[in-house]
Structure 1
Amino acid sequence: MTWTLRMATTSYTVAVEPGGRWAELVAWGPHGVEAGPSPLKNLGEIHFITEADAAPIEYAPRGQRPFTGADLELPGDSWFTFAGATEAGGVLRLAFADKIAGFRAVLCYRPERTVDVLCRWVEITNTSTAPLRLDRVGSAGVCLPVSSPRLSFLHGEWAREFQLDHVTLPAGGFRIGSSYGVPGHNYAPWLSVDDTWGVSLAWSGSWEITAEVEPSGLTRLRAGLLGPVVVEPGETFTTPEVALAYGVDGLARVWHAYDRLRSRPARKPVLYNSWEATGFDVSLPEQRELAQIAADLGVELFVVDDGWFTGRHDDTGGLGDWYPESPDFGTFVEDVRSLGLEFGLWVEPECVSPKSQLHAEHPDWVYRLEGREPTLIRNQLLLNLGLPAVHDFVISTLDRLLTDHRISYLKWDLNRPATERPGDLDNAHVRNYWRILDHLRTHHPHVLVEGCAGGGGRTDLATTARVDVVWPSDNTAPLDRLRIQQGFLHMHAPHLMSSWVTDAPGLFDPRPRSLKFRFVLAMAGVLGIGADIRHWSRSERDEASTLIKRYKEIRDVVHHGEAHLLGDAIQYSAPDRVVVLAWNTGPLTGVPAVPGRSSRVKLKGLTARSYVDENGEVYSAAHLTHVGLPFDWSPTSDADVVVLKPV
């Protein structure tokens, strides 16, 4: 039995092997690739391993695939038998059962018809009378006809997230993951092979993705949450979705298209956030002054960050007691709105300060182990969001804030990982986090939500489908941030990337850059400002106003156009315009003091025969593609925005 699943321009063909023991991949690629002998099928004799170990298997328990790696591991080994297939609602379901171990596993496939992404997950039902413990429970495995893959991945740490790196794997295995209770800063739950095949995990907790070059010459990818998971009798556990992408000429634009498919249509306002100006010292007169300056610059949204609530004078208090410190807070919100600005607020609803009233009343709400003191990180504890009472408290708190005040933006932060987690790690916590985000979207649809976890610690596909923007990093220094953003845009689309203009010095690359450089950098996604604008000169404010106006003119192309990542430049293409953002990060050419030529950026994917820029210069598409768009960098000109229109 064979099924071919069709996406926008690609197809994925899967079959159940003749003995009904497992499903295996036949072909994956452009439409029609399945018409011919499978490039994955084993043609040789098998020595010292099982038949399943050499097969391009889709999902297997240990026992059936004991040597080259299984997707499902129980305390005892298990063997599958095919139990039927159904197709309904755009989903193919292939059922397998193990009557002895007492469970049923349904492999689920959902092709996205308008983009080149296939979503996979597994539904595991406990058919026995005893709890079923799953030590490893993957969402999917997939075999690729590559014997020496070039793996691309995103790694780093706090303030240095999304560092794009590559490794060629001639043999053996490769693993990335997180045990933080969130996807984490160290690795993003994303991996690509030869910039052709990609995997991204829709899970907001601990996870793993592995790649292994198998003895048969295949490369096998696996992805899923970290176990263990316990399934009670009669219950069904559904694994997180894994998105599999195929890109004929690169993956970034496939992932961007998938993000646009999953995102709700929403205008992303230019914001000002007061954190870097005032820190915890949220004085309402100072906030009003900042709001007035921001409004004069052309900002559309004013966000008060940490420090606005009771007892929050530093990072040792206040979390959990979500009431404004000042009795005049409501008047202040309306004052900001009277300036023509929307109003936003920072919250960290999953955390609590030990000296807060909430912790005094509910010490049992935090993660802890019997007889041991819970671990403090950043002077705070983590609430067990998996508890129904904690879930209800967070819902009621956010409902109250959004009802009492005209708030149109929430920045949801999480500044510590999870510790002292018994049982199934973070399954209940993650699913209640999703339920709260879903509640906000349903009951407060006018409120935009920014996802943040100490920077880019929670930017998985499940989060980005439920929020409107994410915060890639707490590091806003220009050259540091440029590299962070370039990595982020390999995984996610520009309309999800919140980026600020600040005066922060670089942690890793301290070379200063102009105000224009910092603005053009932040224009690459959703523009924001975080600097203390009270200290900007008149000329800096005038320049900022001009650049904000410029951004508003190109915002729709940046957020909805097709993006091409071109090194120190990004090209955004729409039917009526091509926008190019470019930065100079290296040495100058020495012109005009010495002979030299313009720096060039070669564009891609142009559809018109020729284009004209705003100065009237006409370029053929061939010139822009093969010679490049010219830029003349100087000590005072280190970034630029170019808009081209088809002629």
Structure 2
Amino acid sequence: MLDFTWGDDAFPLRFTAADDGPVLASITTGVDAVEPRRPEQRARPALVEVLAVGEGRGLGSMRAIRTAIGDRLRHVEHRESAAGGRRVLTLVQRDERTGVVVTTRVERFDGVAAYRVASTLENRGSAPLLLQQVTSGTFIGLTGHLGDPEDLDLWTARSEWCAENRWSSTALSGTAGLADIDAALHGHFARGSIALTGHSTWPSGERVPVAVLEHRGTGRALAWEVEHNGPWRWELDTLFDPAEALALALLGPTDVDHAWLHRLEPGAAFATVPASIALADGGFAGAIGQLTEHRRRSHLDVHADTARSLVFNDYMNALMGDPTTEKLLPLIDAAASVGAEVFCIDAGWYDDGGDWWPSVGAWEPSTVRFGDLGLPGLLQVIRDRGMTPGLWVEPEVVGVRSPVAQSLPEDAFMHRAGVRIVEHDRYFLDLRSPAALAHLDAVFDRLIGEYGARYFKWDYNVTPGSGPDADAASPGDGLLGHARALLEWVEGLRARYPGVVLEACSSGAQRMDAATLARFDLQSTTDQQDARRYPTIAAGAPVAMAPEIAGNWAYPQSEWSDERIAFTLVTGLSGRLYLSGNLDRLDERQLDLVREATAAYPELIRHHALALPSWPLGLPAWDAPQVALATATSEQTLAFVWNREEGATSLVLAFPALRGRAVEAETVFPTALPAWSTSWDAEAGELTLDLTGAGESARVLRLR
């Protein structure tokens, strides 16, 4: 009999295993689930569930839990280790029938109530095993930690191009939740789940791979995320015992959802994608706060972007993919004049034909756009103006009009049934191919070594569907190999060029997953060109990433009012200010407003890097008339507030962490425009804003 607890003092995990059962992982220590009437029906899912062809499930359903191999796993050993503020628990199990040995690694950082889990399967049997899905981790004890499911809300986010991070809640016991079928009466499990999936190479193209369960009464919360730059699935399942009624399964690609089948030969090993959970008492914000700290500690150890320099990019509501010397020179001067430290030339710098979309791939500068200066000369102008030069790239694809589409060998591209995959006039490099990797090496060696680019906006605007089936048991298996090869290559690039800064962008934020974010310095949060629609995206971004890497665009225009310019700048300042727009057309008064924001930026970004997010109005609806985001440290709370309602008169923001304290509110930005009157209610922990006559406007407020 195995029974021990491990992990965070406040929220440890409990691991148990009967002599005749697999290892179970619970997020609560005090509740023992009741077995069903028929003992052959195991009531609780195993830590690792393995679905394989010819093995199937131990109980019929479409759920990830109760697999036959999962039922048969038995504990072999477990051990602990610690180094550098990271603690690791390793558990080993074995299935005697197939010979599969499963090694699960659970890790946590000191002082953080969050856990990362991943498992490796080794086939020590004599026959191949055809894997259909494997859980990275499966957790019980949700009810014991959170409370009665009748009072639980599930928070998830829809996400698409220009409409990312749209968070909403569903009552777990409501009509869209999980039905109570009275499992005890039937002596049988329910078969339904609440499950979400992400597809192909846009893991956040439909749904953000993050979710939170929150108890309305106790404030207990559980957050989780699947850390993969490709397909994923998670599911909430009902269990047999009403006192311990829920299980959570976290997975990478699956057979049913993603055309994934992996042939595990004798002697071979397969590793699942990582997934993480975070536990807290402080409701939704508390759980996301723990996940935020976990993400920060998990980031690749790179230092080129420690200062988080102010970036100007020429694309958004400015050049829009049509850079020329004549257009760039005044923008370079204007960006330098407002304090930009990086100037990134976006799409089109390589295109001679006026249609940059299908011509990507060679990454050689245009011969017609930049006149006598040429691209190298323009990059030198950027350096001469005191800024670091950057370039937009989309290195994982090759346009159908690019010479690279013919010069690279055929195995450098993704294929399905022997046919090269094409989407929207682009082919896809298959990064399992040495030829594809050598091409990327040569491209970046030239752009960095020859042209001196030190910042790259790394875009990814198309996706290949279920993936390539060449040299793989299935398209999903080929895609998983490609996704892992990409992450490995990025790590190698950063090791070779430690002074280079990488921005993640995928048609905005379609690849807003923890695996990508851990290897890049910042994430473009959207391609949304309407400043009025942006606040909901910006306010929701810190659920998916640490606030300091949320690259929020600000794109002031000369025809805008001062309040509209301040509005877009507040959006930028709510994360990592990412400037664009036609700055060269602004008058001095408008430029002064931009300079006020850029002057405030260094202090604000240092604050963000230490702060945890919260939502004084709750997470906003897409069309909410007012939106608010707060980031707080022990020293101060910054509130970013947008009013989108012309006739609004007042607004009340809730700051429960400040209840009972004497608090003063001051305007951080814009101080050159009329201030909003405020009043503080210490007993309630609420700040009331007078919006009479404010109209469409936004402010950054400091509370301390």
**TM value normalised by structure 1:** 0.88
The counterpart of 1:57, out of the listed 29, 46, 54, is 46
1:367 matched residue in structure 2: 414
Residue 96 of structure 2 corresponds to residue 96 of structure 1? no
Cα distance in 1 for partners of 2:5, 2:119 equals 19
Residue 595 of structure 1 is matched in structure 2 by none
Within 5 Å, give how 1:405-484 maps onto structure 2.
405-419=451-465, 420-422=467-469, 423=474, 424-484=477-537
Task: Give the aligned partner of residue 242 of structure 1.
Answer: 275
Residue in 2 that maps onto 1:325: 366
User: Are 1:152 and 2:167 an aligned pair?
Assistant: no
Distance change (3 Å), C-alpha of 1:156 and 1:615: closer
Residue pair 1:295, 1:340 contacting (<8 A) in 2 also: yes
- Are residue 553 (structure 1) and residue 580 (structure 2) matched? no
Give the C-alpha shift of residue 503 in structure 1: 5.9
- How far apart, in 2, do the equivalents of 1:104 and 1:178 lie? 28
* C-alpha distance in 2 between matches for 1:341 and 1:125: 51
Alpha-carbon distance in structure 2 between the residues aligned to 1:301 and 1:608: 43
Counterpart of 2:262 in structure 1 is 229
> Is structure 2 residue 40 aligned with structure 1 residue 43?
no
* Partner SS state of residue 417, structure 1: coil
Q: Name which of 685, 689, 693 aligns with 1:634.
A: 693
**CA offset digits 1:97-138 (Å, max 9, x no partner):** 123223111222112222111111111001134433211122
Kindly provide the CA deviation profile for residues 218-244 of structure 1, in whole angstroms up to 9, marking residues without a partner as x. 222111111322223312211111101
Residue 72 of structure 1: CA displacement? 8.7
Which residue of the partner structure matches residue 542 of structure 1? 592
Of 541, 547, 561 in structure 2, the residue corresponding to residue 494 of structure 1 is 547
Partners of 2:664 and 2:64 lie apart in 1 by: 56
Q: Does 1:199 align with 2:190?
A: no
Amino acid across the alignment from 1:396: A
- Specify the alignment match of 2:182 in structure 1: none
1:228–1:73 distance in 2 versus 1, CA, 3 Å: farther
Residues 293/170 of structure 1: CA separation in 2 closer, same or farther (3 Å cut) = same
Compute the displacement of 1:622 (Å).
5.9
CA offset digits 1:40-88 (Å, max 9, x no partner): x3325424x8432x125322345564246345969x9973232222223
Please give the secondary structure, in 2, of the residue aligned with 1:237. Answer: strand
Say whether the 8 Å CA contact 2:5–2:13 is kept in structure 1: yes
Size of the aligned set, in residue pairs, is 618
Structure 2 residue 121 is the aligned partner of structure 1 residue 80? no
1:519 shift after superposition: 0.8
Maintained 8 Å contact 2:347/2:356: no
**2:644 maps to what in 1?**
585
**Does 2:383 correspond to 1:337?**
yes
Q: 1:542 to 1:73 in 2, by over 3 A?
A: same
Among residues 341, 354, 357, which one is paired with 1:313 in the alignment?
354
Q: TM-score by structure 2 length?
A: 0.81
1:174 is aligned with what amino acid? Answer: I
Give per-residue Cα distances to partners, 1:583-634, cap 9 Å, x unaligned: 11335345xxxxxxx4332324239943444589999986285342534353
Post-superposition Cα deviations, 1:409-445, rounded to whole Å, max 9, x if no partner, equal: 1111111111452131412111111112212321222
> Is residue 645–residue 696 contact of structure 2 (8 Å, CA) maintained in 1?
no
Is 2:381 the partner of 1:381? no
Cα–Cα, structure 1 residues 633 and 108, in superposed 2: closer, same or farther, change >3 Å?
farther
CA distance 1:462–1:214, shift in 2 (3 Å): same
Judged with a 3 Å threshold, the aligned counterparts in structure 2 of structure 1 residues 139 and 130 are, in CA distance, closer, same or farther, namely: same
Amino acid at match of 1:79: R
Aligned to 1:187, the other structure's residue is in SS state coil
Indicate conservation of the 8 Å contact 1:303/1:346, yes or no. yes
* Aligned partners of 1:523 and 1:551 also within 8 Å: yes
What is the CA-CA distance between 1:312 and the residue it aligns to?
Answer: 6.4
Q: Secondary structure of 2:443's match? A: helix
Cα deviation, residue 639, structure 1? 1.1
CA deviations over 1:194-231 (Å, ceiling 9, x no partner): 26111111111111111122343422211111132222
Determine which of 311, 315, 334 is the counterpart of 1:275. Answer: 315
Q: Which runs of 5+ in 1 are unaligned?
A: 29-33, 505-510, 591-597
2-structure distance, mates of 1:532, 1:376: 35
Q: 1:530-587: CA deviations, max 9, x gaps?
A: 2122333333222111222123332211232232222322222234433222111335
Q: CA deviation at 1:528?
A: 1.2
* 1:251-266 aligned within 5 A: 251-263=287-299, 264=301, 266=306
Task: Answer whether contact 2:200 2:479 (CA < 8 A) is retained.
Answer: no
For 1:642 and 1:624, how far apart are their aligned partners in 2?
Answer: 20
- Segment drifting more, 449-458 vs 59-68: 59-68
- Which of 197, 212, 220 pairs up with 1:177? 197
CA contact (8 A) 1:271 1:529 kept: yes
State the shift of 1:8 in Å.
Answer: 6.3
Report if aligned partners of 2:362, 2:404 keep a CA contact under 8 Å in 1: yes
Partner amino acid, structure 1, of 2:214: D
Larger deviation, residues 199-208 vs 254-263: 254-263
Q: Which residue identity lines up with residue 206 of structure 2 in the other structure?
A: N
**C-alpha contact 1:72 1:136 (8 A) present in aligned 2:** no
Q: Which amino acid aligns with 2:81?
A: A
CA distance in 1, matches of 2:599, 2:277: 39
Q: Is the 8 A contact 1:181 1:425 kept in 2?
A: no
Greater mean deviation of Cα atoms: 603-612 or 493-502? 603-612
The verdict on how the C-alpha distance between 1:161 and 1:363 changes in structure 2, with shifts beyond 3 A counting, is: farther
Answer whether contact 1:588 1:633 (CA < 8 A) is retained: yes
Give the alignment's Cα RMSD to 1 decimal.
2.9
Which stretch of structure 1 is more off in the superposition, 63-72 or 309-318? 63-72
Could you tell me whether the CA contact under 8 Å between 2:454 and 2:500 is conserved in 1?
yes
**Aligned with 1:25: secondary structure?**
strand
CA distances 1:140-161 after superposition (whole Å, capped 9, x unpaired): 1112215444211111322212
Report the equivalent of 2:130.
Answer: 133
Cα distance change of structure 1 residues 50 and 513 upon mapping to structure 2, 3 Å threshold: farther
* 1:214 corresponding residue in structure 2: 239
Cα–Cα, structure 1 residues 112 and 583, in superposed 2: closer, same or farther, change >3 Å?
Answer: same
Cα deviations by residue, 1:370-428 (Å, 9 ceiling, x for unpaired): 454x4432321111112122123212321221111332211111111114521314121
Residues 320 and 356, structure 1, Cα contact 8 Å, conserved in 2: yes
Q: Residue 162 of structure 1 corresponds to which residue in structure 2?
A: 165
Structure 2, unmatched stretches of 5+, are: 172-176, 180-191, 216-220, 254-259, 368-372, 618-626, 669-674
Any conservation in 2 of the 1:600–1:630 contact (CA below 8 Å)? yes
Aligned CA distance change for structure 1 residues 258 and 371 (closer, same or farther; 3 Å): closer
Give the whole-Å Cα distance in 1 for the aligned partners of 2:664 and 2:36: 62
CA distance in 1, matches of 2:110, 2:45: 25
Cα distance in structure 1, aligned partners of 2:686 and 2:361: 58
Which residue number in structure 2 is paired with residue 508 of structure 1?
A: none
- 2: CA distance, partners of 1:490 / 1:535: 35
Specify the code of the residue in structure 2 equivalent to 1:268. Answer: R
Identity %: 20
Q: Which residue of 379, 388, 393 maps to 2:439?
A: 393
**Residue identity matched to 1:519:** L
Q: Is the 8 A contact 1:315 1:379 kept in 2?
A: no
Give the secondary-structure state (helix, strand or coil) at the position aligned to 1:588. Answer: coil
